[in-house]
Each structure stands twice: as C-alpha cells, then as structure tokens.
C-alpha cells in the first residue's frame, strides 16, 4: 500500500480509494451490527473488524510458506 503510493499518482489514488472504501464499509457494517445488537458496541466494531481482517490475512500469508522442518505433508 504505502510503497505503491510512492510509485505514482495512479497508485496513490488507488490505494487511497481502497482504504477509504474499507473504512466506509467497516463503518456501515458497524452501524448495522450496532443497531441489531446494541449501540454500545459501535465504537469497538470497526477496530474488531480491522483486527479480524489483519489476523486472517496474516494467517493466510503465513500458511503460504511451509515451515523449515515441514516435509510437505
């Protein structure tokens, strides 16, 4: 993301749009869930969504590389 934004205006715009869309959708789904389960959760939900997405993404990327002692099974 930040590295791509150094490559030029197009990449900076694309990165900004991606982050903006993520934040907008995160807020929209946070409002939806808070309306359903209680407004007291609204401040925490965007953080929870971000932590879940980052951890799932890192877990996925980690799973792409086998362990050093892994025999491939």
pLDDT tier at 4, thresholds 50, 70, 90:
low
Question: How high is the pLDDT of residue 13?
Answer: 87
Helices 45-64 and 9-37 sit at what angle, rounded to 10 degrees? Answer: 120
Residues near 66 by beta carbon (within 8 Å), at least 6 away in sequence: 72
Beta carbons of 4 and 14 less than 8 angstroms apart? yes
Distance between CA atoms of 15 and 53, rounded to whole angstroms?
17
Query: pTM of the predicted model, to two decimals?
Result: 0.73
Give pLDDT, residue 10.
Answer: 86
The string of pLDDT tens digits covering residues 9-65 is 888 888 889 999 999 999 999 999 999 999 999 999 999 999 999 999 999 999 998
Task: Sort 49 into a burial class: Cβ within 10 Å, 0-12 / 13-18 / 19+.
Answer: middle
């Amino acid at each position: 993301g930040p590295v791509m934004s150094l490559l030029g205006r197009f990449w900076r715009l694309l990165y900004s749009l991606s982050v903006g869309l993520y934040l907008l959708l995160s807020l929209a789904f946070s409002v939806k869930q808070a309306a359903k389960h209680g407004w007291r959760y609204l401040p925490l939900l965007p953080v929870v969504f971000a932590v879940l997405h980052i951890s799932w993404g890192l877990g996925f990327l980690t799973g792409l590389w086998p362990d050093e002692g892994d025999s491939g099974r």
